Amino acid sequence: MEGLTKAVASVRRKIRSHRELYAKNEEAVKQHLIGEVFQALGWDWNNPEEVRPEERTEDGRADYALILDGEVFAYVEAKNLGVNIIKRDEPLRQLARYCFNSGVKYGILTNGAVWIAVKAFEEGSRLRDRVLVTVNIEEEPIEKAVLKLSILSKSRITEMERIASLLRALELSFLGLRGEGYSEEMLIEYLTSREGMNTVPVGELKGDETPRAAYVYDGGWKLLPLQERSIKGVLLSILLYLEKRAQGYEREEIRRAYEHIRRMSLSPETALEVLKKLEEEEKLRISVEI
């Protein structure tokens, strides 16, 4: 999702720098913000076989129609940034009318910053109850916004109702467990741990183990490419991880240390001692799969 992350970051910067423009100019929102996000979602924005602008419906013109297998899968309705599409019902109702009158099941409403995906019709339900996902690019953590937006990607949009339901269930379960006193860190570690994986914290290693993989805790257990299947290989992987986090002179120092250790003969016991010291000094949590 790297491309989508970059697009969301770009949209946030544009909104901060040109808020007054986007609050008044819907066309600027379409061209500068909405198009960039949809392209990052895998839609060929300039291909009429995938995206058709100003699509005629019985109730008016939808700003865009998203096409899959030659059929309209969803309508997209754009508003300028000055329209509060979360509080105002009419924009969402307008989109629902476009969808209902054309037999299109899904709609996407956005002002560039807020994105709302909705199931347009379902017997016995209210429109707001059929909102599948709401994303606020400006106010949500970028990782959360990117994950929720990803269900609108060309490769996932046919499953967006199911995935949106899973995300809601995950959020409710997470909040419920937090309310029961479980820490966020404990819950994330639980969710990201790998079933059947025999991992051992660095502090419990003896030095005679043959590592299969190395992990560092970074908001969740992150798998690091193993330089070689040895304790020295784990140390080298950790140094590369630290190098990516560092900047300037510190980064250069870590690179020099990496190159020095890579070339030298280092006993498993010595490599393990260095790993333990790094873990303590850098406030890391390192585990090794054996």
Phi, psi angle pair for 122, to nearest 5°: -165, 125
List pLDDT tens digits, range 139-180: 999 999 999 999 999 999 999 999 999 999 988 998 898 899
List pLDDT tens digits, range 5-42: 999 999 999 999 999 999 999 999 999 999 999 999 99
- 2-176 CATH fold: tt1808, chain A (3.90.1570)
Reported as a pLDDT band with limits 50, 70 and 90, residue 212 is confident
* Side-chain half-sphere CA neighbours of 187 within 13 A: 15
The full set of domain ranges for the chain reads: 2-176, 199-289
CA distance 44 to 38: 8
**Phi-psi label, residue 124: left if phi above 0, alpha if psi -120 to 50, beta otherwise:** left
Does residue 82 contact residue 24 with C-beta atoms inside 8 Å? yes
